Amino acid sequence: MSCSSTEDLPDQYKELFTQDGVLLKACIGRPISDLNSIGMLCVVQNSDGTKCIEWRPNDLITIDSDTQDQEWAVVNTIGRRQRTLSGNMTSDYAAARARIVRIPLAELKTFKVTRNNQQMQFSTKSGVWQNTFYFQHGNAEIFVAYLKNHVKTAKTRHDRNTYVVVESNIDSQALNKSFTELDIFTENTTDVVWSLVSNFKQRPYETTMEAFSKLTDIVWSVLVYYGNEGLNGKRDVSEEVADLLTKSMSALEDTTSITKSDEYEVITVKPTLPPRPCIPRGTPLSTEKWEGLQDTEGRILEVEGVKQLIFRGGVAHSIRPAVWKYLLDYYPWRSTHSEIRKIQKRKTEEYFSMKLQWRSITERQESRFSEYRERKSLVEKDVNRTDRSHPFFAGDNNPNVLLLQDILMTYVMYNFDLGYVQGMSDVLAPLLLLLGNEVDSFWCFAGFMEKIASNFDMDQAGMKQQLLNLQQLLTFAVPDLAKHLASKDSGNMYFCFRWLLVWFKREFSFSDIMRLWEVLWTGLPCANFHLLICVAILDAEKDVLISKDYGFNEILKHVNDLSMCLDIDKILSTAEGIYHQLMSAPHLTDQIRIILGIPTAANNPNDRNEESESEDLGDEEPGRENARNQANGYTRI
């Protein structure tokens, strides 16, 4: 792209990537008046070749665009931007220019993606997030994926959402390779293995499955049992796997191109998913294995390996209290025994000081503090009707009901803006039942809430987004059921509301919900796996729902009545099977990839080689990126 027409910008200034509809939420050193305005977040290249993340307020972009013709603007965004940038230097324009936020890539230390992937924070020095952006349209995934082309990142051990910049301004080719090795392999072992399976497509199903089970065994043993040396072992295996992966990918592409070359086939043959593998569940993480995973000082080193084991089989009940504290981010995985003691001490003090805050509110204060009163009244009402039929919470004046109330009230003080929302008492009850201890339960609850905070948004945006994502997944994975639901005005998936709000708490017994939650807390094998749990449950009900031609009311009733009639192991196994089906589907769309948090086609090294003639991806035209994003519906003009 040529920018020679822009007067006040350096000759070689280039917009490499742009994302519209991004709100500047926080920026250290800027007046409040600059905040909360909408703009465009870009990756730009300066004349000296250095790159920057740049945010520009919309008033700068649209400053002199008297041509507001919608169609023209859509077709020619880049042109419009250039034109406006080259406009008159009015004083407004200068003021707006002063509001541009720049973060040189060379200085970027870490970034973090939170709030349902809609919020990004950047930091150029440790300990402070200097800038916070909110992605109003779609989410930050595409931006992150693009950013990863320019900086080499590693995810921090304790927080999957935080990326540490290991090396900035790297050569993209080299990065793509390491990306395959690092990201895909360490995070999604089973993905890679399953992708291999698609190589054996022509063989009978049984053979494939046999091969698959062998392979997974090998890879897991490398990951889990090699311990420290596994780091080297991992590399080697990963290269092999990457090779095989590339092969299998090209095999898949062949199949698609054959179909493409025959126009009739395209129309008549609907793309179907590959057969669903039946993946047996593993055994729960045992005490011995858990102890073996800690070093002499108590650190857990092979975090990904532990998570894999938990994903496969859950956790033995006796060690749940210990393991859950890590899974729920109360204890960092790599902390030593003595560090843990310190954390416990600090968190205990913190808890009780927050508890004291509300305990010391007098009646007279309360009478003039309506927001507090409302929250308190909601909590009181709900603890009295939470799992009271379970012996642990049953009977009059049950002290555990009071504990439930104290923890929730303290959480209200911890997060007053969110306050108490119905469903929270359900989320807390199994934690308290298991941990027994007030402080531990509180912090584990707070950790769980971090994972599902968007479920309780005031505007329910998080719930709506999930219901929409679920509908998209179902349409791809079980199209006939999705079609049936849509024809019965149930396409909005509202009947799954209860499942999602409290992560299936109402659908399973205590022992089953503990199993399901610990598996989901691992974050494996992909983002939003809980939505695939929904798909798995619905898939099992498909025949009933369709053959009995259930309508709007019956669908809701049937789904509500599934409560306590579901087989957790079967569902987990099916959900994982569906995951692998999706991963190996040649027609997998970016929409689905984004939901599952896997690299999109735009970010997939294999596709990229095919598409891009130029070696240096940094030179890729933003126009092309834009077109692609528009096709995915992620960039709005």
Ligand X SMILES: Nc1nc2c(ncn2[C@@H]2O[C@H](COP(=O)(O)OP(=O)(O)O)[C@@H](O)[C@H]2O)c(=O)[nH]1
For binding to ligand X (CB under 6 A), which residues are involved?
384-385
- Measured between alpha carbons, how far is 523 from 579 in angstroms, rounded to an integer? 13
Question: Per rule CB under 8 A, is residue 421 in the interface with another protein?
Answer: yes
- Chain length of the chain: 637
**Which residues in 524-553 contact another protein (CB under 8 A)?**
551-553
Token representation of residue 365: 């204060």
- Measured between alpha carbons, how far is 241 from 389 in angstroms, rounded to an integer? 51
- Measured between alpha carbons, how far is 65 from 72 in angstroms, rounded to an integer? 12
Q: Which stretch binds another protein (CB under 8 A): 3-11, 238-246, 296-304, 556-564?
A: 556-564
Q: Are 525 and 511 a contacting pair, CB within 8 Å?
A: no
If the CB atoms of residues 165 and 433 are measured against another protein, the closer one turns out to be 433
CB 388, min distance to ligand X, A: 9
Question: Per rule CB under 8 A, is residue 20 in the interface with another protein?
Answer: no
Q: Which does 128 bind (CB under 5 to 8 A by kind): another protein, ligand X, none?
A: none
If the CB atoms of residues 10 and 551 are measured against another protein, the closer one turns out to be 551
Question: Per rule CB under 8 A, is residue 334 in the interface with another protein?
Answer: no
CB 413, min distance to ligand X, A: 24
Question: Per rule CB under 8 A, is residue 557 in the interface with another protein?
Answer: yes
Question: Per rule CB under 8 A, is residue 412 in the interface with another protein?
Answer: no
Q: What is the dihedral of CA 33, 39, 43, 47, to 10 degrees?
A: -70
What's the per-residue H, E or C state across 443-469?
HHHHHHHHHHHHHHCCCCHHHHHHHHH
CB 404, min distance to another protein, A: 13
Contact pick of 134, 497, 540, 621 for another protein (by CB under 8 A): 497
Q: Which does 386 bind (CB under 5 to 8 A by kind): another protein, ligand X, none?
A: another protein
- Measured between alpha carbons, how far is 555 from 605 in angstroms, rounded to an integer? 42
- Measured between alpha carbons, how far is 428 from 435 in angstroms, rounded to an integer? 11
Question: Per rule CB under 8 A, is residue 422 in the interface with another protein?
Answer: yes
Query: Which position has the token pair 């987990």?
Result: 572
If the CB atoms of residues 384 and 589 are measured against ligand X, the closer one turns out to be 384
Helix (H, G, I), strand (E, B) or coil at 123: strand
Q: Which does 256 bind (CB under 5 to 8 A by kind): ligand X, another protein, none?
A: none
- Measured between alpha carbons, how far is 223 from 152 in angstroms, rounded to an integer? 23
Q: Which stretch binds another protein (CB under 8 A): 13-21, 289-297, 344-352, 451-459?
A: 451-459
- Measured between alpha carbons, how far is 75 from 72 in angstroms, rounded to an integer? 5
What own/partner pairs with CB < 8 Å and gap ≥ 24 does 118-123 have? 119/25, 120/144, 122/53
**Which residues in 259-278 contact another protein (CB under 8 A)?**
none
Q: Are 496 and 565 a contacting pair, CB within 8 Å?
A: no
If the CB atoms of residues 489 and 615 are measured against another protein, the closer one turns out to be 489
- Measured between alpha carbons, how far is 286 from 279 in angstroms, rounded to an integer? 20
- Measured between alpha carbons, how far is 363 from 341 in angstroms, rounded to an integer? 37
Strands 119-123 and 38-45: unpaired
CB 502, min distance to another protein, A: 6
Q: Are 20 and 10 a contacting pair, CB within 8 Å?
A: no
Q: Which does 426 bind (CB under 5 to 8 A by kind): ligand X, another protein, none?
A: another protein
Question: Per rule CB under 8 A, is residue 53 in the interface with another protein?
Answer: no
If the CB atoms of residues 71 and 459 are measured against another protein, the closer one turns out to be 459
CB 388, min distance to another protein, A: 3
Q: Which does 498 bind (CB under 5 to 8 A by kind): ligand X, another protein, none?
A: another protein
Contact pick of 50, 76, 336, 492 for another protein (by CB under 8 A): 492
Contact pick of 276, 281, 289, 506 for another protein (by CB under 8 A): 506
Contact pick of 202, 263, 360, 458 for another protein (by CB under 8 A): 458
Question: Per rule CB under 8 A, is residue 459 in the interface with another protein?
Answer: yes
Burial of 430 (0-12, 13-18, 19+ CB in 10 A): buried
Question: Per rule CB under 8 A, is residue 379 in the interface with another protein?
Answer: no
If the CB atoms of residues 385 and 570 are measured against ligand X, the closer one turns out to be 385
Query: Which position has the token pair 């179909």?
Result: 259
Strands of the sheet containing 162-168, edge to edge, are 101-104, 51-57, 38-45, 14-27, 131-135, 119-123, 110-114, 162-168, 151-155
If the CB atoms of residues 62 and 384 are measured against ligand X, the closer one turns out to be 384
Contact pick of 384, 415, 437, 606 for another protein (by CB under 8 A): 384
Question: Per rule CB under 8 A, is residue 2 in the interface with another protein?
Answer: no
Question: Per rule CB under 8 A, is residue 389 in the interface with another protein?
Answer: yes
Question: Per rule CB under 8 A, is residue 409 in the interface with another protein?
Answer: no
If the CB atoms of residues 84 and 384 are measured against ligand X, the closer one turns out to be 384
Q: Are 103 and 111 a contacting pair, CB within 8 Å?
A: no
If the CB atoms of residues 108 and 500 are measured against another protein, the closer one turns out to be 500
If the CB atoms of residues 261 and 389 are measured against ligand X, the closer one turns out to be 389
Question: Per rule CB under 8 A, is residue 453 in the interface with another protein?
Answer: no
**Which residues in 357-376 contact another protein (CB under 8 A)?**
374
**Which residues in 462-491 contact another protein (CB under 8 A)?**
463-464, 488-489
Question: Distance between the two ends of the chain, CA-based, in angstroms?
Answer: 19
Query: Which positions ≥6 away from 558 have C-beta within 8 Å?
Result: 541, 544, 545, 550
- Measured between alpha carbons, how far is 20 from 136 in angstroms, rounded to an integer? 9
If the CB atoms of residues 206 and 363 are measured against another protein, the closer one turns out to be 363
Sites of contact with another protein (CB under 8 A): 374, 377-378, 381-382, 384-389, 394, 421-423, 425-426, 456-460, 463-464, 488-489, 492, 494-495, 497-498, 501-502, 506, 551-553, 556-557, 560
